[in-house]
């Protein structure tokens, strides 16, 4: 007697009740809309409907998507020229995203790279008038190094990070700081004259980096650079520090180049765009 095929036999595959395999979700409408926004963001500021042919979309499809984006403020349409441009709502959303970025989240990879490139300890600090608060530090592998300052406070006027930040404060805030702070000599090389310190800060602002040349600890040299947020306001500083024997003055260009590059990259991630002709 021939055997009959069994009924209700489940095909092999995902166990019943098990998790569904994940796959990348894709929406054609969303993907096409994002592509239109990217086209608007490149080249000339405004585009005709025909300019979107590079997206491989029929004019009617592009028109419907652009109209939907326009209703949400993501795209603007000028009826007098029949051209499209990016909407201000995109700017609002972008600024909302950037404002949520935290410098302490962006900085660690750059600190680690600085240590790997220079062999010296790297730090991140913020200004809490009248002091610098060291919030992150990646230590050098050298047995001879400065004790960790993470979580500690230091005077702003005689530290690399402090001078990098002070040099980029607005004039009123800097004047208030210089008029109220007491400039104690931490070492024989500490600048304790207000006008000399002001001149030093002018040089820092002009060249983009600061130098602590044994001004807070004897035998310690430090170079630092400022970090700016999306508003162009200085919010932190990053530094590399080590014994003067490992950071001789003729090697400073190497250190300053790496520190200023790291500071610029962190600033860029925070939304900062340097304006031509602007000192900060």
DSSP label at residue 244: T
What's the predicted TM-score (pTM) here?
Answer: 0.68
Average pLDDT over residues 123-127: 94
Residue 238, preceding peptide bond in cis (omega within 30° of 0): no
Please tell me the distance from the alpha carbon of residue 120 to that of residue 240, in angstroms, as a whole number: 6
- For the stretch 33-77, pLDDT in tens is 999 998 888 877 789 998 888 778 888 889 999 999 999 999 999
- For the stretch 68-108, pLDDT in tens is 999 999 999 999 999 999 999 887 887 677 566 689 889 99
Please tell me the distance from the alpha carbon of residue 217 to that of residue 221, in angstroms, as a whole number: 8
Structural domain boundaries in the chain: 28-98, 103-269
The CATH class that applies to domain 103-269 reads alpha beta
Please tell me the distance from the alpha carbon of residue 186 to that of residue 174, in angstroms, as a whole number: 21
The fold adopted by the segment(s) 28-98 is Arc Repressor Mutant, subunit A (1.10.10)
* Nearest CA among 274, 270, 263, 246 for reference residue 140: 246
SS3 category, 202: helix
- pLDDT at residue 8 is higher than 80: no
Average pLDDT over residues 174-199: 96
- pLDDT at residue 151 is higher than 70: no
* Nearest CA among 159, 160, 161, 139 for reference residue 148: 139
- For the stretch 164-182, pLDDT in tens is 999 999 999 999 999 999 9
């Amino acid at each position: 007697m021939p055997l009959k095929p069994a009924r209700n036999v489940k095909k092999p595959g995902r166990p019943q009740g098990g998790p569904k395999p994940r796959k990348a979700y894709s929406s054609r409408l969303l993907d096409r809309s994002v592509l239109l926004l990217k086209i608007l963001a490149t080249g000339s500021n405004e585009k005709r409907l025909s300019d979107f042919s590079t997206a491989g979309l029929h004019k009617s499809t592009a028109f419907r998507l652009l109209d939907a984006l326009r209703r949400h403020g993501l795209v603007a349409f000028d009826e007098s020229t029949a051209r499209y441009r990016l909407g201000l709502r995109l700017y609002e959303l972008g600024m909302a995203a950037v404002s949520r970025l935290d410098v302490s989240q962006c900085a660690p990879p750059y600190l680690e790279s600085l240590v790997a490139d220079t062999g010296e300890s790297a730090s991140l600090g913020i200004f809490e008038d009248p002091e610098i608060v060291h919030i992150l530090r990646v230590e050098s592998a050298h047995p001879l190094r400065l004790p960790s300052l993470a979580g500690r406070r230091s005077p702003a006027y005689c530290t690399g990070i402090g001078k990098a930040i002070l040099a980029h404060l607005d004039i009123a805030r800097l004047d208030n700081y210089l008029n109220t702070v007491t400039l104690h000599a931490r070492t024989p090389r500490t600048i304790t004259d207000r006008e000399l310190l002001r001149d030093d800060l002018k040089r820092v602002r002009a060249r983009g980096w600061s130098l602590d040349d044994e001004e807070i600890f004897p035998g310690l040299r430090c170079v630092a650079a400022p970090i700016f947020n999306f508003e162009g306001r200085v919010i932190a500083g990053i530094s590399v520090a080590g014994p003067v024997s490992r950071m001789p003055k003729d090697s400073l260009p190497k250190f300053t180049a790496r520190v200023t590059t790291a500071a610029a990259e962190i600033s860029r991630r925070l939304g900062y765009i340097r304006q031509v002709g602007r000192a900060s």
